[in-house]
Amino acid sequence: MDHEVVKVLLVGDERCGKTTFLSFVAHHLVPDSRADALNCLRRLSAGEHTNPIPLLRDIDQPYIFNINLGPKRYRIEFHDTSSPDNWRLLDPDVIVICYDISQRLSLINMKRYWIDEVKTAFKRSDSLPVVVLGLKRDLRLETDPNGIILPHEAYQLAQMMRADRYVECSAVTGELVKLAFEDICKTATGTTTEVGGQADGGCTVL
């Protein structure tokens, strides 16, 4: 059976952590022939993962992950805004809007710039599932009142943007990366069904 191709586009400010996130996933995926291949990320203990993470190269896009979900096989193609080709010419099935948890401007730009860019670039943007992904969770500085971006604040913004899901993680520590990647993949594979990948009843926190 051939793999069904699903395209995922990551957008967000430069250096917000998109490539590092995908690089972490690429270096910690292990082959798994079992039906539920979404459980293929290794359980990570402190210090087990490679640091610094070897980064994927832009010229190697799309970054491809083969996923088995029950009897179905999927080829998930990840693109980001550093793609050698113009990302606006892609026809994605899922949009992941990323921001840097340690940079408030990155959060602001998500609402002021990136959501509008997505709507302008893709005519079917109203039917595209949108995942908001907070990156660099390890840099959340609770001692700096001006730098704190608490989860509930970002979640509320994701709701205002009519995003379908909100999740955050840290590629440096590995915290919640597995959950974030699984949720993106499940959203992506959902676009191939009649129900679609959009969430029912508003934004979901995962």
Parse the chain into domains and list their residue ranges: 4-205
The pLDDT tens digits for 188-206 are 999 998 777 787 655 676 5
The pLDDT tens digits for 103-123 are 999 999 999 999 999 999 998
List the one residue out of 175, 198, 9 whose CA is nearest residue 98: 9
168-to-63, 73, 194 alpha-carbon distances in Å:
20, 26, 28
Q: What share of the chain has pLDDT > 90, as a percent? A: 49
For the domain made up of 4-205, the CATH class stated in words is alpha beta
167-to-1, 30, 134, 162 alpha-carbon distances in Å:
32, 23, 6, 14
Which secondary structure element, helix H or strand E, spans residue 9, and what is its range? strand 4-12
DSSP state, 176?
T
- What pLDDT band is residue 78 in, cutting at 50, 70 and 90? very high
Q: What distance in Å separates the CA atoms of residue 105 and residue 113, rounded to the nearest whole number?
A: 11
- What pLDDT band is residue 84 in, cutting at 50, 70 and 90? low
Note the pLDDT of residue 142.
66
DSSP state, 165?
E
